[in-house]
Amino acid sequence: MSQQLRSFLAAVGLIAALAAAGYVAVIVGAATVIGQSETGIEESAKSDGWRGVRSGTAGRVSIPDPQAGVLIQSEGEIWRSIRNGPVTAAGAWSMFVMLILLAVFYAWRGRIPLAGKPTRREVVRFNGIERFAHWMTAASFIVLALSGLNLLYGRYLFIPVVGKEAFAVVTEAGKFLHNFVAFPFMAGLVLMFVLWVRHNVPTRVDLQWLRLGGGLLSDRHHPAAERFNAGQKAIFWIVILGGVSVSLSGVALLMPFAFPIFGKTFAFLNLFGFGLPDVLTPMQEMQLAQVWHAVVSLGLIVVMFAHIYIGTIGMEGAFQAMGSGKVDTAWAEQHHSLWAANAEESVADDDAVPAAAREGQG
């Protein structure tokens, strides 16, 4: 690997690490600050009874909703500053940086070509149910991402252009879409997990693949890979874990105050010595759910930029794997040699086929 490649990889790694660290910092910060019952916001009242009020102690109220007994919840102001501050900024920056990186990568590497000539013999890469699972998740993800981003950035981007009325109509429609499309997304997650988990267990082949930079950096290297290479396995686990997390917090937001999940999660994490606040008010639960939902979604969106890039313009022949479900045997050889060796060709081409599949390996 040339010096140039090494520094590029190092830069990408560094940025990814920084972004991840940023996300973790935002969440841990939010959890600690929002979860703290005593906050810095002072009242002018001096007597002791008032101190409890400031820190969220509830009184008695004749409304049949105990939450109404809370006089002041100072966390609201903290939630506002986290959502309108670091979450908005980190999201915008990470999307921007990812797009720049992809543009730079494309300018430098271009479209990764098919090595050698296509054999014009096809092999099934993803069957119907697999493609259904992928596209159901993908389509709902795009709807969810756009309507979600709109909630965070639309106010600044679109209101000046289309005006408040039109924006409110679109945003309300987006909210309903978001609520409903969440379900096919969750179903797609489950389906993909069931279909693909056994192909996504990390193996030693992945180390080799990673060591060679996945063949992304130069045409000379074609590291061996199984059905999924290390990069795809990473995407799989990011989508599954991120997707489950975003689904849980999403359900908490969908049915307000009915699904407190953070107190329990923090209590569990505290077994490992995290020292997070585990007694949270229903309001704190909602605030944390919103911050977490936004941060994880933004992370997934940024990762999906890269996934969509490599699956479309970034690599010759990649799209048809999930499009028609069939790939050229030469492509299979180049990118997933260990899988190609066992894959059955869809074209009944008698004895010539296995030989062709084994040719030119390496």
> What are the residues binding another protein (CB under 8 A)?
41-50, 52-54, 57-63, 67-74, 76-77, 79-80, 83-84, 150-152, 154-155, 159, 164-165, 167-168, 171-172, 175, 179, 254-256, 258, 283, 286-287, 290
Closer to another protein by CB, 73 or 200: give it.
73
Its sign, for the CA torsion 237, 243, 249, 255, is: negative
- What is the end-to-end Cα distance of the chain in Å, rounded? 18
The owner of tokens 């704190």 is 284
The owner of tokens 């086929």 is 353
Its sign, for the CA torsion 290, 87, 151, 148, is: negative
What's the closest the beta carbon of residue 120 comes to another protein, in angstroms?
Answer: 51
Residue 360: left if φ>0, alpha if ψ -120 to 50, beta else—which one? left
CA distances from 289 to 175, 280, 293 (A): 17, 12, 6
Residue among 125, 343, 220 at smallest CA distance from 356: 343
CB 68 within 8 A of CB 275: no
Closer to another protein by CB, 52 or 354: give it.
52
Q: State how far the Cα of 99 lies from the Cα of 302, in Å rounded to an integer.
A: 9
Closer to another protein by CB, 58 or 343: give it.
58
Q: State how far the Cα of 286 lies from the Cα of 30, in Å rounded to an integer.
A: 12
Closer to another protein by CB, 14 or 169: give it.
169
What's the closest the beta carbon of residue 138 comes to another protein, in angstroms?
Answer: 24
**Rounded to an integer, what is the distance from CA 92 to the centroid of its chain?**
15
What's the closest the beta carbon of residue 92 comes to another protein, in angstroms?
Answer: 15
Closer to another protein by CB, 125 or 178: give it.
178
What's the closest the beta carbon of residue 294 comes to another protein, in angstroms?
Answer: 11
Q: Which two tokens stand for residue 106?
A: 């494309």
Closer to another protein by CB, 48 or 351: give it.
48
Residue among 147, 149, 141 at smallest CA distance from 235: 141
Antiparallel, parallel or unpaired: β 326-328 and 122-124: antiparallel
What's the closest the beta carbon of residue 48 comes to another protein, in angstroms?
Answer: 8
Q: Which two tokens stand for residue 105?
A: 């990568």
What's the closest the beta carbon of residue 50 comes to another protein, in angstroms?
Answer: 7
Closer to another protein by CB, 293 or 307: give it.
293
Length of the chain: 362
Closer to another protein by CB, 16 or 53: give it.
53
What's the closest the beta carbon of residue 54 comes to another protein, in angstroms?
Answer: 8
What's the closest the beta carbon of residue 262 comes to another protein, in angstroms?
Answer: 14
Q: Which two tokens stand for residue 284?
A: 């704190």
Closer to another protein by CB, 80 or 120: give it.
80
Its sign, for the CA torsion 114, 116, 121, 126, is: negative
What's the closest the beta carbon of residue 278 comes to another protein, in angstroms?
Answer: 20
Backbone φ, ψ for residue 346 (5° rounding): -80, -30
Closer to another protein by CB, 112 or 286: give it.
286
What's the closest the beta carbon of residue 253 comes to another protein, in angstroms?
Answer: 8
For residue 217, give the amino acid letter: L
